[in-house]
Amino acid sequence: MKVMIVGAGKLGYRLAEAMNNEDIDVTLVDINFKTLERINDHLDVLTVTANGIEITKLKELNINTYDLLVASTNSDETNTLICTLAKKLNCKKTIARIRDPEFIEQLDFVKVEMGIDHIINPDLTTAIEIERYLSKTYNFYSGDFAKGKVSMVDFHLSSTHNYVGKKLKEIDGLEGLLITAISREGDLIIPDGSTELVAEDVIHVIGKSKNINKLGERLGISMNKKESKKVIILGGGNIGYYLAKRLEKTGINATIIEKSKERCQYLAEKLSHTLIIHGDGTDIDLLEEEDLSSYDTFVGATGFDEQNLLMALVAKQLGVGKTIAKISRPNYVHIVDKLDVDIALNPVNITVSNVLKFIRGGKVVSVSLLLGGEGEVTEIIASKDMSIVGKPLYQLGLPKGIIIGAIVHKGEVIIPNGNSIIHEKDRIIVFSLTSHMLAFNKMIRPNKGGILNGLWIGN
């Protein structure tokens, strides 16, 4: 498969990096030669210094031979034009990054008239993820799979916990659950029975929701905190706007603190039931005036990671129950677990997951990146032509970096063992180190042809 990415910013780079682990030939196009030079030192991709809206350059690169073009420059208009030109020049599929709310309200028209097959909006998808967390009664990362039948949560092990120092095979009380991955000092481990837990590990556990709740109680973690009813958002950019817009529809009271007076006026015009405060959200006096401690959720959504993390910590100290921070720097992912911040979300990683799901086609239901992209959780619907179907798991020869965390067979959730068999139409949730994804993709490749032959099913 051939993919062209136009725009080598954070998103373009991460997409190229993720596709490096797939069976994909990537061409990365950008007008900045120095940016591409740095990328060449880290990624095995073809880099081209050019403007993506140059028709002659697209023709020179034989855009008609590409399966997909992703336009990820900083301009919505440029991305739209690039996709239109690529489609006119017979590129098979196009994806555009479009973030402007005015554009988003006309998505169907834009897609049809401009020849765009899929639109990605990092700000909107991040707002949707935050809203999903707000609907939870507990304070930490969780993911839902198989239409809600399977849940995955992260638990942080303190130094005093009685699981510390034990091997997984020695731990009682994991019936119906599986520890599928461990985050340890910035690394992701796919464990086996002999893996020993150490202090400050974050364990990723999968199973039925009721079993997850029992484990939480055993770990001394409250699983039934109050739902979010009153939310304060630091930053009135696109994420803050999209989130407030969605919260208005659910009846949750939202307040936005925004520095720019002009932006406050825009928000006041667009939002009907959200309180807009013009001011510096890092000003402690302002936060005390607004009675920050009366809110049950704080969301740091400015363009500055440090502000988002710092003020989330301040909110926590003032008694706010849930704290969420938007972060962009990949290296910050490794320190969040050490901070008293409940959830940190990276819009780039969320968007990369979205694109990977699109690329892998109709049999892949969802993709979630773990620990900044070092690992991946993928939900797949098994088809009869996959080589993993009809065999006990112990016969599949899964590498150590891959684990099948759950199988949903005829509506029943199965935490598998070596004798478990995957059947046609089963939903399987797979945990993998990113470095092993290519190996797993080969395992789920249909017996005839490649996994990417069905690339565009359901899109």
- The pLDDT score that the predictor gives to residue 315 is 93
320-331 burial, b at 16+ Cβ within 10 Å, e below that, comes to: bbbbbbbbbebe
pLDDT of 46 reads 95
Q: Give the integer Cα–Cα distance in Å for 15 and 5.
A: 8
Helix (H) or strand (E) holding 327: none
The string of pLDDT tens digits covering residues 119-149 is 999 999 999 989 988 876 544 455 677 777 7
Q: Tell me: pLDDT of 16 over 60.
A: yes
Residue 177 to residue 130: CA distance in whole angstroms: 26
- Whether the per-residue pLDDT at 325 is higher than 80: the answer is yes
Q: Which domains does the chain have, with CATH numbers?
A: 2-120 (3.40.50.720), 226-320 (3.40.50.720), 356-454 (3.30.70.1450)
What pLDDT, on the 0 to 100 scale, is given for residue 84? 95
Which is nearest to 348 in space by CA: 99, 178, 118? 99
**Residue in 381, 360, 382, 348 with CA at minimum distance from that of residue 459:** 360
Specify the amino acid at residue 400: K
Does residue 240 register a pLDDT over 80? yes
Rounded (5°) CA angle 184-133-225: 90
Return the residue matching tokens 């798991």. Answer: 393
Q: Look at residue 301 in the predicted model and tell me its pLDDT.
A: 97
Per-residue pLDDT at 283 exceeds 60: yes
Cα gap 295→304, rounded to integer Å: 22
Task: Please give the Cα distance from 119 to 108 (Å, whole number).
Answer: 10
* Maximum C-alpha span of the chain: 66
Q: Is the pLDDT of residue 241 over 80?
A: yes
450 pLDDT above the threshold of 50: no
In this structure, of 97-101, 157-161, 317-321, 439-443, the range with the lowest mean pLDDT score is 157-161
The reported pLDDT for the residue numbered 458 is 34
Phi–psi pair at 74, nearest 5 degrees: -80, 0
Quick: pLDDT tens for 400-447.
Answer: 888 898 999 998 889 898 899 999 999 999 888 887 877 777 777 665
Which tokens is 272 given? 């009907």
Which CB contacts under 8 angstroms, 24+ apart, belong to 215-221?
A: 215/155, 215/173, 215/174, 215/177, 216/138, 216/153, 216/155, 218/173, 219/155, 219/157, 219/161, 219/163, 220/161, 221/138, 221/140, 221/155
Averaged pLDDT of the chain: 86
329: tokens are 């720097």
pLDDT exceeds cutoff 50 at 452: no
Report the run of H or E that residue 375 belongs to, with start and end: strand 375-381
Cα–Cα distance for residue pair 285/290, rounded to 1 Å: 9
Q: What percent of the chain has pLDDT over 90?
A: 47
Q: What is the mean pLDDT of residues 352-371?
A: 80
Q: Give the model confidence (pLDDT) of 42-70 as tens digits.
A: 898 999 999 999 999 999 999 999 999 99
Choose between 21 and 239: higher pLDDT. 239
Of 95-109, 110-124, 144-158, 170-184, the poorest mean pLDDT is in 144-158
Question: 189 and 219 in contact (C-beta within 8 Å)?
Answer: no
Bridge partners of residue 179, in order along the sequence = 205
Integer Cα distance of 433 and 403 in angstroms: 9
At 340-356, the pLDDT tens digits run 788 888 999 899 988 98
Mean pLDDT of 205-227: 73
pLDDT at 449 over 70: no
pLDDT of 453 higher than 60: no
Name residues whose C-beta falls within 8 Å of residue 110's C-beta, 6 or more positions apart in sequence. 80, 98, 103, 116, 119
Cβ neighbours of 444 (radius 10 Å): 22
- What pLDDT was estimated at residue 160? 62
Q: How confident is the model at residue 86 (pLDDT cuts 50, 70, 90)?
A: very high
pLDDT at 196 over 50: yes
Helix, strand, coil in percent for the chain, rounding step 5: 35, 25, 35
Interatomic CA distance for residues 208 and 334, integer angstroms: 28
Backbone angles phi, psi at 37, to 5 degrees: -60, -45
Nearest Cα residue to 4 out of 77, 96, 78: 96
pLDDT band at 215 (very low <50, low <70, confident <90, very high): confident
> What local confidence, expressed as pLDDT, does residue 442 receive?
76
Beta bridge partners of 265: none
Q: How far apart are CA 189 and CA 358, in angstroms?
A: 27
pLDDT-above-70 percentage for the chain:
91
What pLDDT band is residue 364 in, cutting at 50, 70 and 90?
Answer: confident
